[in-house]
Structure 1
Amino acid sequence: MTGVGRAVAANHPVKERVGFGLAKVCKAHRGNVAGLLAEFGLHVGQEMVLIELWQNDGLRGGELACRLGVEPPTVTKMLRRLEGMGLIERRPDPADARSFRVYLTGPGRALEEPVLGCWERAEEKTFAGLDPAERREFGRLLAKVRSGLGSIRD
């Protein structure tokens, strides 16, 4: 690329968009969370499965996919890995032989406080430049944007 091409790319209009900035912040935050979760042998996203189970142990695989906003094959792959780590177990659903339910094991339950600590540390790092009122306003604005996106679940 020529010198002129580099200058144009550096000032590309998409970089001026709020969404571009949000994507960059999300990527950096995800990287921070990933580094902290790695201490416990977890990859980003795996803790989301655990969070759902800490709130409601015994969910069906399809329910997890819906709650996480991912496709069932993605959840299946995540569950296989978590099961291999001894953090969850899958059991047949007594009400539906075609389905299974996912349950935490003792080690899976024991990760709740450490994972919560990872998220707290990542949040502190990510929002260190904001005062408490700015954090609340940012959270309010994110919730408003999120609700405008539609079918994303909590």
Structure 2
Amino acid sequence: MLDETLTYALIKVMKAHRNQMAAALVPLGLHSGQELLLNQLWREDGLCQGELITRLGVEPPTVTKTLQRLERAGLVYRARDPERPRVGRVYLTEAGKALREPVEAIWNRTEEELLRDFDDQERALLARLVRTIPL
């Protein structure tokens, strides 16, 4: 039975976790996944769309649509690279920069809730095992 497999259990956990994250991001005006793109810009502002696609591991239309929504929300803007006019770069606005702390707080709180029944040793083991799964 499929519902007895580890894959099924992982999918259930990931769906529940994603729904919880999505609900927590609503008050910030964000949709699930948008915080992942913003995170890349918090790490390194001024990335081009191709760099975002590579770092996020998603399809180009996904990044295009996400950028359009974030731009309409006033969280990012696009500008041409002055040294390479064919390259467009994505930059955070002040509003986009201001979301970093609240988003990180949501992620940390959600992770704590996810792992609340695990002791430190179990948390470390789970993290190690999940990070070694080949994708």
TM range (shorter): over 0.9
The reply to whether residue 32 of structure 1 matches residue 20 of structure 2 is yes
How many residue pairs match? The answer is 135
Deviation for aligned residue 1:129 = 1.5
Name the amino acid aligned to 2:41: L
Instruction: Note the C-alpha offset of 1:128.
Output: 1.4
**Cα offset, 1:16, TM superposition:** 1.3
* Structure 2 SS opposite 1:96: coil
Provide Cα deviations, 1:42-75, integer angstroms capped at 9, x if missing partner: 0110000110000000000011011111111110
Percentage of identical aligned residues: 50
Shift of 1:95: 3.3
Q: CA RMSD in A?
A: 1.0
* 1:96 paired to 2:84: yes
Whole-Å Cα distance in 2 between the matches of residues 92 and 71 of structure 1?
22
Q: Quote how far apart the aligned CAs of 1:93 are.
A: 2.0
**Residue 125 of structure 1: how far off its partner (Å):** 1.4
- Structure 1 regions of 5+ residues with no counterpart? 1-12, 150-154
- Residue type of the partner of 2:62? T
* Map of 2:116 onto structure 1: 128
The residue aligned with 1:143 is 131
Pick aligned residue for 1:86 from 66, 74, 81: 74
| Runs of 4+, deviation exceeding 4 Å | none
Structure 1 residue 124, shift from structure 2 partner: 1.4
Whichever residue aligns with residue 85 of structure 2, its letter is: A
- Say if 2:31 is the partner of 1:43: yes
Give the drift of 1:112.
Answer: 0.5
SS in 2 for 1:54: helix
Aligned equivalents of 2:95 and 2:58: distance in 1?
25
Matched residue, 1:20:
8
Question: Structure 2 unaligned runs (5+)?
Answer: none
